[in-house]
Amino acid sequence: MLQIPEAIINSIEPLQLQVTPQVLLRFLQLVEDDRTTMSELATIVSQDPALSARILTVANSSALHQGTASKNLTQCLVKLGTHLARTLASCLAVQNVFSTASNNRKYDLSGFWSHSLLVAEVAREISTDVAYPDVEEAHLSGLLHDIGQLLLLGGMEECYGRLLESSIDEMDLLAFEKKTLGTDHMALGAWLADQWELSSFMADSILFHHKTAEEIASADRLSQIVWSSHVLCDQVNVMDLTQQNQAPDLEAITIMLGIGVPRLVSIHQNCSRRVAVLAEALGITELPTRKTFPSTVYLPHENQQLKLHDNYMAHARIEESVRDMAMMQPLQHNMALLTSEAEILLGIRESARILFGPGHLAFLLVQADKPVLSGASIAGQPDILQNVEIMLAPTRSLAANVALGTQHRSTFEEGCSANMSLADAQIVRALGSEGVVYLPLSARTKNIGVIAFGISKSQYLRLCPQLPWMMNFARMAANSIETWRSMQEQKHSVEAAMTKSFEQQARKVFHETGNPLSIINNYLSIIRKKMPDTNNLHQELDILREEIDRVTKIVRQMGSLPEMSSATATLDINVLIESMLVLYGKTLFSSRGITVEKSLDPELIPAAHNRDGLKQVLVNLWNNAADAMVPGGCLSISTHADVNQDGKAYIEIRMSDTGPGLPPDVMQRLFQPLDPNRRPGHSGVGLSIVAGLIEQLNGRIICRSRAGHGTSFSILLPKTREN
């Protein structure tokens, strides 16, 4: 068991490891792009010890831990998933910005980073040469071999910072650690590996990497690989490796691993080149040649004209990312509340005007049916953009070049004028500007187009410092559009599934009800023939058979509104109401103690109307009225032959009940389907069907209702030519 002072354990347990800002910045950029694979993310994570430690810690936490601990970074990221990885990246960025540093001091991690990465790369190549069974384990062990330094820096910054300042090389640092702290970074690194429940071989390789050649000779293979990698990378000048007297441990490596000096030199050179390429890609322009651990750098005073170190440039960009997260989040939330793509584009346009000042803005979006950019069907843009189509080929135009990439371009940039196409010139002219800045609408899963800012040269110079912010704005805009489109696709998918399910159910209902209805109808025909025509019984049976026919048609047409026949029959609405009251009057009204008062206009003459559609409207409204009233209530039904509305002539059917009236929330969405749970036993779709039927009848329906004063419906039907 490792003996580490309790005070130090208490200091380092919060695990505030500092991630190299350049690596963190790249991780932030990649994790926001859904096109990034977990393998690509793992490649970035594997380039920084602290970031690897963070991922390992979370992936092997009790919430995600399953079975044995995971030491493969790709597997760890798969465990985390995209959303958790994105959240972790955001938290790391915020922690990076708001972590405190005494006396305005920050730490240059480039020496620590490059040394750790070089040891990891060398360990990978050596493990391949000696056929070690787990190459990734060797790489990760090399990457984490000095992780204890970050633990001490994060937990004991002031004390450990002084040790870092006083140390010339790692041997100095080790001596200071043991003397001042009573432990060292090797023991703390091994302790951390034990906390994560990584293999004891990994913990040992971290613990033993400063042992002597004689001691390491009896250790396990992984410890020998990491020790050899550390020794190889600890040389100041790789060419000195060929001088045995200047590298006394080199012979021990050759004896232990069976790798000759020329091959060791080649491994060191190859890995050094790879680290240099990675450093350049990440923006770490100057790699140290001496210090292999964190070193202190003081920020310049505000008025001093000193060039900031690479670390501070990366810190500044991370701070900018955090600022944009904070500023863009409310804007993106508001965009998500808009109800159409047109509204979102309008919101983006107006937000851009407020944020970035004057200038003409236009959208060119990738079309769904062909690989072109176009401004078609986008309101508020010059007409010419409705017809412009730009092929998505990088050599065709600046606009296409930006739409296919992730960087902004401008006609004001040096050399860009040569790449301008006639399409770009048309856009500049359409926007009435000197030039244009294109920003990619790069969403998480794909690029959906470009934003074109038409501005002058002076406006461009003013906006140049804001271009990173404008890029983040364009990314937020693209994500808002993509999210809305995704929600629409999901909505249509759900609607299609529901429609299919309803159609299947409707066919089943028709199959189960069609035959009984036909049998009842046929039986009524037989009864009619057998019964004498007394007391209008034949008329009532005819009405009943007519209603059964109508119900049969409705069942056939379930899932959509009844289709209107183009050949409408001549209909006497007064007679229709009378005959329906014969059939429904007793069951709906008189049996419930409700009276019906009629006032049918004798001037109302027969006209061409759809009989079945109008009957369904009346049945629905009468059902609602009967349900709303208590015994003693009254339904008034009246017709009017000549009503004028907005200069048009209509006939009117008016129905008023003495019920309690409709609540305000129902009145607000009167003709939309209601939640069926609102009124148990009712479908909640009756009035929506009524509205659809009235629309098919080319009519209008008006509702007036007041709490405690009942409800009235006025149905207006076009007054057709008299026959």
Q: Where are the domains of the chain?
A: 8-296, 326-488, 561-718
Q: Is the pLDDT of residue 161 over 90?
A: no
Q: In the block, which residue shows the tokens 């501070």?
A: 312
Please tell me whether residue 67 adopts helix, strand or coil conformation: coil
Q: Is the pLDDT of residue 565 over 70?
A: no
Res 559: pLDDT: 45
Going 160 to 163 to 164 to 165, the CA torsion angle's sign is positive
Res 437: pLDDT: 93
Rounded Cα–Cα distance for residues 80 and 647 (Å): 67
Q: Which stretch of DSSP H or E encloses residue 458?
A: helix 457-463
Res 290: pLDDT: 60
Specify the higher pLDDT residue, 89 or 283.
89
326-488 against 561-718: fold identical: no
Specify the higher pLDDT residue, 258 or 83.
258
Res 682: pLDDT: 45
Res 74: pLDDT: 86
Lowest mean pLDDT among 196-205, 233-242, 446-455, 590-599: 233-242
pLDDT band at residue 420 under the 50/70/90 scheme: confident
Average pLDDT over residues 356-362: 77
Q: How many residues does the chain have?
A: 723
Residue pair 61/69 in contact by the 8 Å Cβ criterion: no
Q: Is the pLDDT of residue 236 over 50?
A: no
- The CATH number of domain 8-296, selected from 1.10.3210.10, 3.40.50.2300, 1.10.3720.10, 3.40.50.300: 1.10.3210.10
What CATH class has 326-488? alpha beta
pLDDT band at residue 605 under the 50/70/90 scheme: confident
Res 638: pLDDT: 94
pLDDT band at residue 330 under the 50/70/90 scheme: low
Q: Which stretch of DSSP H or E encloses residue 402?
A: helix 398-403
List pLDDT tens digits, range 439-488.
Answer: 999 887 889 999 999 988 888 888 888 888 788 888 888 888 888 888 88
Please tell me whether residue 296 adopts helix, strand or coil conformation: strand
Res 5: pLDDT: 78
Residues 6+ apart with CB under 8 A from 707: 660, 661, 663
CA nearest to 686, candidates 706, 666, 700: 666
List pLDDT tens digits, range 525-557.
Answer: 667 767 776 656 666 777 776 777 767 666 666
Of the chain, the percentage scoring pLDDT greater than 70 comes to 72
Q: Is the pLDDT of residue 633 over 70?
A: yes
First to last CA, the chain: 107
Rounded Cα–Cα distance for residues 45 and 40 (Å): 9
Q: Is the pLDDT of residue 101 over 60?
A: no
pLDDT band at residue 239 under the 50/70/90 scheme: very low
List pLDDT tens digits, range 664-679.
Answer: 777 777 776 555 454 4
Give the type of residue at 168.
I
DSSP 188-235: HHHHHHHHTT--HHHHHHHHTTTS-HHHHTTS-HHHHHHHHHHHHHT-
Residue pair 58/80 in contact by the 8 Å Cβ criterion: yes
* Superfamily covering domain 561-718: Histidine kinase-like ATPase, C-terminal domain (3.30.565.10)
List pLDDT tens digits, range 583-598.
Answer: 788 878 888 899 999 9
Average pLDDT over residues 237-248: 52
Res 216: pLDDT: 93
Average pLDDT over residues 244-258: 78
Residue pair 227/219 in contact by the 8 Å Cβ criterion: yes
Average pLDDT over residues 689-702: 86
Lowest mean pLDDT among 116-120, 184-188, 385-389, 548-552: 548-552
Lowest mean pLDDT among 76-85, 460-469, 530-539, 711-720: 530-539
What are the residues facing 305 on neighbouring strands? none
Q: In the block, which residue shows the tokens 């060119």?
A: 364
Residues 6+ apart with CB under 8 A from 14: 154, 155
